[in-house]
Amino acid sequence: MRLLDPQMYEPVFAPLRGKKIGYVRNASGNVGDTIQERAVFQLAGLLGVQLRRLKSGRYDGVDELVCHGGGNMGLPGPSMRRRKAALASGLPMTIFPNSWRAPEPLPERVKLWARERKSIELYEPRARLAPDLGLAFDFDPSWRERKPTEGVGVYLRNDKEARFADALPDTNRGPAFSGIEPRDVAGYFLRALRYTKIITDALHFAVVGLMMAREVYLLPGQYTKNVGMHEAWLRDLGCRWAESPEDAL
């Protein structure tokens, strides 16, 4: 079961058919990144794209490259270095639906997809809109039948994207990734299943909450990703918006 129909990703995947495609992974990682990566391979299988993971620095045996979705494009760091190394191969590249915090120098041979309109504004007219890949992640629908054991779960980031890290010190809350390894998708789902109502600034914790049919409030982050995603996709999927944890409560 998915939040969005795989056919909504047809414009992204159709140009890749009939070619050997190498997948460039995100160098950073949290559970949201893992969900998006698994969705990429699920969609590739459904939409007829031959996709394989690449070993670091090895771009032989493929016709084109695709670069991970999600992430924070435009920021210096391991993921940007990995993209630059892939671009140095000279191969055509498609960047899956991403968000940008700042423009990133990218040659014309790179096809750009953005998951919200705020990022498209940085790359007009090159970038096109497509859904966040995590919205097509296929999950076990029987999980939605599990009853919550707690009322409100407030999960706020405490990393570089945090805006409310010191908010609500007297509530039973914790960072969305506390105690969950980056590849532990099941643990992320089980965390969301605890609650009747979820308040979070972690984008994919909000997405998982929607998958589990919980009442979800998404909060703003340090840049426009969350509000852009809410306006483009999540609002229509039933996600609510709040300007602060206090407002959501």
What pLDDT digit, counting tens, does each position of 133-171 carry?
999 999 988 989 999 999 999 988 877 777 887 776 555
Instruction: Decide which of 16 and 30 is more confident.
Output: 16
The domain boundary residue, chosen from 106, 136, 166: 136
The domain boundary residue, chosen from 74, 108, 136: 136
Q: How far apart are the first and last CA of the chain?
A: 30
What is the residue range of 123's domain? 6-136
Going by C-alpha positions, the residue among 92, 120, 197 that lies closest to residue 155 is: 197
Q: What's the rounded Cα separation, in Å, for the pair 75 and 138?
A: 30
**Does residue 66 sit in the same domain as residue 35?**
yes
* Helix, strand, coil percentages, rounded to 5, for the chain: 35, 20, 45
**Does residue 129 sit in the same domain as residue 146?**
no
For 64, 73, 176, 216, the CA distances from 115, given in Å and listed in that order, are 21, 12, 22, 20
Task: Give the chain's domain count.
Answer: 2
The domain boundary residue, chosen from 136, 162, 184: 136
**Does residue 178 sit in the same domain as residue 219?**
yes
Residue 10: CATH number of its domain = 3.40.50
Q: How many residues does the chain have?
A: 249
Residue 91 forms part of a structural domain: yes
Residue 226 forms part of a structural domain: yes
Residue 157: CATH number of its domain = 3.40.50.2000
pLDDT, residue 122, reads 86
Residue 86 forms part of a structural domain: yes
**pLDDT digits 0-9 by tens, 170-221:** 554 555 556 666 778 998 899 999 999 999 999 999 999 999 999 999 999 8
Q: What is the DSSP letter of 222?
A: S
Q: Which helix (H) or strand (E) holds 228?
A: helix 225-229
**Does residue 177 sit in the same domain as residue 204?**
yes
Residue 192 forms part of a structural domain: yes
User: How high does pLDDT run on average in the chain?
Assistant: 89
**Does residue 151 sit in the same domain as residue 118?**
no
Residue 1 forms part of a structural domain: no
**Does residue 49 sit in the same domain as residue 97?**
yes
Q: What's the rounded Cα separation, in Å, for the pair 178 and 247?
A: 24
For 2, 89, 154, 229, the CA distances from 9, given in Å and listed in that order, are 13, 26, 32, 16
**Does residue 66 sit in the same domain as residue 162?**
no
Q: Which amino acid is at 214?
A: R
Contacting residues for 88 by C-beta, under 8 A, at least 6 apart: none
Q: What's the rounded Cα separation, in Å, for the pair 185 and 138?
A: 12
pLDDT, residue 172, reads 47
**Does residue 128 sit in the same domain as residue 199?**
no
